[in-house]
Amino acid sequence: MMDKKIGVDLTEGSIPKGLIKLVVPMLLANWLNAAYNIVDSIWIGKIVGPIGLAATAVTFPIFIVLISVAAGITVSSNILIGQYYGAKNIKSMIHISRVATTLATTLSIILVVVAYTSLESILVFLNTPADVLPSALSYFKIIILGFPFLFYYFLVASFFYGTGDTVRPLIFLSISAILNIILDPLLIMGIGPFPELGLEGAAVATVFSQLVSVVISVTYLKLKNSPLRANPFRITFDFKIIKKMFAIGLPSSSSQLIASLSFMVLTSLVNRFGSSASASMGIALRIDSLTFMSIVALATAIATMSAQNIGANKMERIKDIHKTGIKIGVTLSTMFAIVVIIFSEAIIGMFTSDPNVMLYTKNYLYINMPCLIALSIAFATNGVINGAGKTLVITVFNFISLVLVRSPLAYILVEYFGLTGVWVSMGAANFVAMGMILIYYYSNRWKKNANIVINNEA
């Protein structure tokens, strides 16, 4: 029997209202996450300068690779818990959350060790400018230590999202983000009793804030005696569940890993143009992240609602979920594109006054912000496909659009148009991704064996 205090049932009532109520806290959480990353960059840009911005930019793809590898567990947890929640099976939800926590803890430790020991070789391979390399190394060696804490937050958030509760993750992240924003200037400049750490201060502030979010999450789940169990010290292995999680999560991880590795190729190309170009990419991605993270939040909300309805065997509601999701995505991405393009100089000016960095960043935003509209449609559709557990299809489409289209196109266009050619290749890939996923969705092939609860009972 379902405990009425657990989560939100998304299998009944108005779909637009339900999706909006689900997605708004996710949007706020992701905007807040983007906001404190932006604040990081503003402080670094104003105090440390272009070298500091470049250092964060060249290490960003490496961190994204780590998140991509870890994403499979969070995606599979969200889908499985969502479908079992829709099927009113609390016992399976509890067991899955325990197994997922053990798997996440083990994987995060392995990833940190590998990344820490191979960092310098990776940065050299990425053509990191010589004047940026020392700062990038010192910055990332601190940031990487906070990765297990960040992973844990994403995992707990996926548990709550699966039950339709998007408020609790927002609260946890808000506390962490506000703390990070406060600590940034104190540790970068050495205000009051705090040491002056420069670029490393921003990294320390981030890691400490992530640790606090973990402590808050663990404390909350314990005090509330929640059925969602996320104790990293309780070891629970179930190879049947792990196999199921890998079947769903591995394609999702592969998909994001493909995107990350493809992005590392673009970073390597951008780094050829020097530290100003590297800094511009760092700024552009921070600005871009407000829109992109909105799209990701929407896709997660759609996946959650789809998973619950599929688990409850209410397939007739999926069509409206998809339509509503596209409307929200197009509205958000269009709004952001207009605002960023109109106020581009003022926005970039918050990060830097360097004229070269300003020019490169404006060029990126003019080309790529409108292209995010296509990406919002693709991600809204991805949400439905993910909710059905068909993550392998998205992996294949990502490989085509990013590896077979974007990367080769970037290498071709950079020879003729320089840095602008890299920006164009990124926008073009969004339209390719949108076209493929829409064709697959309307083919209805994703509906076959979509209900994991019925077709593959744990």
Segment of 37-41, 247-251, 447-451 carrying the highest mean pLDDT? 247-251
User: What is the torsional sign of CA 367, 33, 50, 409?
Assistant: negative
* pLDDT, tens digit, 9 for 90 and up, residues 202-231: 889 889 998 998 888 888 877 877 767 677
Segment of 130-139, 165-174, 314-323 carrying the highest mean pLDDT? 314-323
pLDDT of 5 reads 55
- Amino acid 153 reads Y
The Cα 327–Cα 316 span in angstroms is 19
**Contact 70/148 with Cβ under 8 angstroms?**
no
List the beta strands (DSSP E) in 147-250: none
**Quick one: which of 369, 176, 178, 360 has its CA closest to 282?**
360
SS3 127: coil
- Which pTM does this prediction carry? 0.74
* pLDDT, tens digit, 9 for 90 and up, residues 33-92: 777 777 777 778 777 777 887 888 778 778 777 887 777 888 888 888 887 887 788 888
> Which residue has 């990126």 as its token pair?
364
Tokens of residue 428, six digits: 């073009």
Instruction: Count Cα atoms within 13 angstroms, Cβ side, for 264.
Output: 19
Q: What is the mean pLDDT of the chain?
A: 85
**Quick one: which of 124, 111, 77 has its CA closest to 228?**
77
DSSP letter for 315, please. Answer: G
pLDDT of 6 reads 62
Instruction: Count Cα atoms within 13 angstroms, Cβ side, for 366.
Output: 8
pLDDT tier at 458, thresholds 50, 70, 90: very low
**Quick one: which of 138, 116, 142 has its CA closest to 203?**
142
Helical (H) or strand (E) element with 276:
helix 275-311
* pLDDT, tens digit, 9 for 90 and up, residues 399-438: 999 999 999 999 999 999 999 999 999 999 999 999 999 9
The Cα 307–Cα 312 span in angstroms is 8
**Contact 94/232 with Cβ under 8 angstroms?**
no
**Quick one: which of 157, 192, 145 has its CA closest to 7?**
157
